[in-house]
Amino acid sequence: MQNSQRTPGVVPGRLDQATYRQNFDDLHAPLDTHEARVAADRCYFCYDAPCTTACPTAIDIPMFIRQIQTGDPDSAARTIFDQNILGGMCARVCPTETLCEEACVRQVAEGNPVEIGQLQRYATDHLMAQDPHPYSRGAPTGCKVAVVGAGPAGLACAHRLAMRGHSVVVFDAREKAGGLNEFGIAAYKAPNSFAAAEVEWLLGIGGIEMRYGQRLGEGLSLEELQEAFDAVFLGMGLAGVNALRVEGEEHAHVRDAVDFIAELRQADDLSVLPVGRDVVVIGGGMTAVDAAIQSKLLGAEHVTMVYRRGRDRLSASTFEQELATAKGVKIVLNAQPVAFNSDDGKTVSSVTFAYTEDGPTGLVASEETFTIKADQVFKAIGQALSGVPGVLETEGGKIVVSDSGRTSIEGVWAGGDCASGGDDLTVTAVANGRDAAEDIHMALTGVTAVAAE
């Protein structure tokens, strides 16, 4: 441990470069060919496989594992990509422990599921390393579709539309594509710029134009898109960040966790990123866990994650919770912040929390409080919809959509985190974008396409 790790305040360079590299290395080492064969041999290849049912994109999991077992990882990758064109990233970030692997028969019987996520990564990485792109653009239809948002939903929609022969223009507020895959997940889950490489690979199909620095509601209007394009898909995620409305929230070094994670993901040198010695993260989801773990990996000495409800209400998976505690993060439950304190009137120095409990009328804060020392606080309490035209029907802070992604306005579809039914998972966003693309194709051409080509 360097002396700088014990330095008070929010400072950069708490660790040496070798430790940074080690801390932010790949969370799971990829399987080699022998390991993949051994892992595939454990599959029972179930009829009506529960793992496939549990996958939001309905990948035929027994099929692709069988293809790996028989020495054909490229065919396995095609089986995956036909359903989920972002299968490479999903293999890295999907909470497989609560989806396909939790449903695995071996998990139910033995508590030791087939390594579905790792096998998916093995197959997709193998095919993505080759040229050319495995999918080709369909015969031109003459139709032009606008996609707003270059995250998982938008990219999946754009790729499937290109396969069907449509011309696609993708608009994104940032200067780089990928959405949460690029800016919003822990760096150790997808190191070596995998998110950017996956986008470049996906665009290899052709027929997709990217336009960056354009945000809906700020120089880019829905009406203009409707006039210029035959259809519009909205997949811009949730851009706004909820506020705690707690005394002292304006103090220095109290910031949104999503901004911290994005800054870290885009940093070329982790030693320039400042981090506190005593860090508090408020929230109980995946973003909170990612912010807490990465604070620890950057050299914070004490990291505490505080959630207002009980463990049964934590949205972060059990695996993520255990990973956090294994990295030295302390998790405090049933407490909510009531004040951000400051010794100098400017910079946060501690956070006061009140104990909470669920009552018949909802969450109730008690008069009993406690205080945690903090020189840096990250808020991970959810994001909100912003920039969406008022003409669109919304409910619960999200755009109301049908099962196929149709909104209340004809010719406009939506999917991903910004739409009703979204659950903040890359794999669900991909399914939304893919299914909306097929419905857009049918609406524009009258042809129902039932399979990838």
- pLDDT value of position 448: 77
Strand positions, DSSP E, 202-301: 208-212, 215-216, 219-220, 231-234, 240-241, 254-256, 278-282
Please say whether the beta carbons of 211 and 168 come within 8 A.
no
Considering the four listed CATH numbers 3.40.50.620, 1.10.10.1100, 1.20.1300.10, 1.10.1060.10, the one that applies to the domain covering 33-128 is: 1.10.1060.10
Distances (CA, A) of 371 to 335, 350, 436: 11, 7, 48
CB 52 within 8 A of CB 84: no
Contacts of 220 (CB under 8 A, 6+ apart): 148, 171, 214
Return the percentage of the chain with pLDDT > 90, whole number: 90
The pLDDT confidence band at residue 419, using thresholds 50, 70 and 90, is very high
pLDDT digits (tens, 9 = 90+) for 254-290: 999 999 999 999 999 999 999 999 999 999 999 999 9
Token couple for 202: 């996906």
pLDDT digits (tens, 9 = 90+) for 345-364: 999 999 999 999 988 888 99
Write down the pLDDT at residue 450: 53
pLDDT in tens, 172-197: 999 999 999 999 999 999 999 999 99
Q: Is the pLDDT of residue 326 over 60?
A: yes
pLDDT, one tens digit per residue, over 309-320 is 999 999 999 999
Mean pLDDT calculated for residue range 104-125: 97
Band (2; pLDDT cuts 50, 70, 90): low
Q: Which pair of structure tokens corresponds to residue 395?
A: 């409910």
Are 186 and 270 spatial neighbours (Cβ–Cβ below 8 Å)?
no
Taking only the tens place, the pLDDT of each residue in 36-80 is 999 999 999 999 999 999 999 999 999 999 999 999 999 999 999
Distance CA 140, CA 30 (A): 39
**Backbone phi, then psi, for 149, in 5-degree steps?**
110, 120
Q: Does domain 144-239+389-445 correspond to CATH entry 3.50.50.60?
A: yes
Q: In the chain, what are the domain boundaries?
A: 3-8+241-379, 33-128, 144-239+389-445
The string of DSSP letters for 323-337 reads HHHHTTEEEE-SEEE
Cα 222 vs. chain centroid, distance in angstroms? Answer: 25
Query: E-strand spans in 32-182?
Result: 144-148, 167-172
Is 1 a residue whose pLDDT tops 50? Answer: no
Least confident span in 194-203, 248-257, 360-369: 360-369
Measured from the Cβ of residue 151, the count of other Cβ atoms closer than 10 Å reads 30
First CA to last CA distance, the chain: 54
Identical fold, 33-128 and 144-239+389-445? no
What integer best gives the mean pLDDT of the chain?
Answer: 95
Mean pLDDT within 7-36 = 95
The pTM assigned to this predicted structure is 0.94
Q: Which CATH number fits domain 3-8+241-379: 1.25.40.10, 3.40.630.30, 3.50.50.60, 3.90.870.10?
A: 3.50.50.60
